[in-house]
Structures are given as C-alpha cells and as structure tokens.
Structure 1
C-alpha cells in the first residue's frame, strides 16, 4: 500500500489497518518463537535431553517451606530466603534473634 493510498483512507480505516498490522506482527513473532523452540527441542532430543532439563523450563521455581513465623500472626511467615520481611527486621532491631521465630 502506497502513502497516497493511505492518505485516502478514513481514520477508522487507518486504525483498523494499524490493529490488523499489530496482530500480524504478533502472530509472526509468536510463530517464529515457536519454530525456534521446536528446533531447540529437536537438538536437545538428538543429544538425549529435554530442552527443559537444559535451560530450566517454566514453572521450575519451587515454593520454599516457611522457616520463621510471626509470633502474633501465624499467617505471616518467611522462608529465610530473599529480603527479610519488615516484621523480622523490626524484631531483630529490638534485640531478638531469628531463633525466636523459628518454626
């Protein structure tokens, strides 16, 4: 479509064309991604692996069981990994230790 042809379109037609083009781009990108994943899976299988075994597939995060519990609110727990929750920081600031909250 030439610029002259685009200039003859109404705003509604241009918006529809824009939407259709965006959908076509997304479909193209999804198709290319799926092709690449299929190719990588085939190479992994050729070597006796699953692709997920080599790169860690989606959903490989494992929820860690809680190690510490708030003394007044048992719903508030912490696994001991990542940033300390504020209630732990506050308690440690008052001289308590993590052992005081151990489950």
Structure 2
C-alpha cells in the first residue's frame, strides 16, 4: 500500500493515473460483488423451489392507490347576534367580538337583547 509520504512525492499526473486505476478497480469490485450476490440469491431461491425472476416479480407489487378523501366544505355558522342599529351586521358568537357588539355592551345593551330569535 501507499504511505502518505509516497503520495506526497508523486506528481499530479501520477496521482491522476492512480485515481483512474482506483476507480476502475472499484468498478470491477462492485460488479464482482453484484455477480456473487445474484448467484447467492439464485441459489437461495432455488432451495425454496423458485427462480430469481419469480421472486423479483412478486417482491415489489404495485403500490395501492390511496383514496384521497376530499374535505367537505364547512357550512358557515348561523348568526346568533345582530346589531340593533343595523340588522345587516351580525355575529355568530364565535371568534373575536365585532366592534359594534362590544360598543353595544359597553353602552349598556344586554347581549340577550341582541340575540336573534329563531322562528
């Protein structure tokens, strides 16, 4: 093997050639390992009475399509309170109190007086 000092003493061209040789050797080693793994897998499948092609076809079935649940549109809440001065201004009683509601309460109007009576 190469020592660090050996690498430091080499020229750029020598290092590039060494790098290419290492890349080729690595590719060869990967291909060899793949062949050996395929041989071992074929042998293991044969022990169970299958060919490697039979197993690889069933090993990854097509993923099931999941149904996308569509969310139903939320129905707007019915208004519960109405402004006594302007009946077009309403409030459901949920969330932040509107300015007109707060102003009416501060002025002394009871919330029950602003409640919309459903018929």
Q: Alpha-carbon deviation of 1:45? A: 1.1
Report Cα offsets for 1:38-57 as digits up to 9, x if no partner. 0000011111111011112x
Which residue does 1:23 correspond to in 2? 24
Q: Alpha-carbon deviation of 1:12? A: 0.8
Q: Distance in 2 between matches of 1:15 and 1:46?
A: 47
Q: Which runs of 5 or more residues in structure 2 are unaligned?
A: 58-119
Which residue does 1:73 correspond to in 2? none
Which residue does 1:52 correspond to in 2? 53
SS at structure 2 position matched to 1:39? helix
Q: Which has the higher helix share?
A: 1
> Where in structure 1 do 4 or more consecutive aligned residues deviate above 3 Å?
none
**TM-score in terms of structure 1 length:** 0.52
Q: Alpha-carbon deviation of 1:29? A: 1.1
Q: Which has the larger radius of gyration?
A: 2
Q: CA RMSD in A?
A: 0.8
Report Cα offsets for 1:43-85 as digits up to 9, x if no partner. 11111111011112xxxxxxxxxxxxxxxxxxxxxxxxxxxxx
SS at structure 1 position matched to 2:50? coil
The alignment status of 1:2 with 2:7, answered yes or no, reads no
Count of aligned pairs: 56
Which residue does 1:38 correspond to in 2? 39
- After TM superposition, list the pairs within 5 Å mapping 1:58-97 onto structure 2: none
Q: Which runs of 5 or more residues in structure 1 are unaligned?
A: 57-103
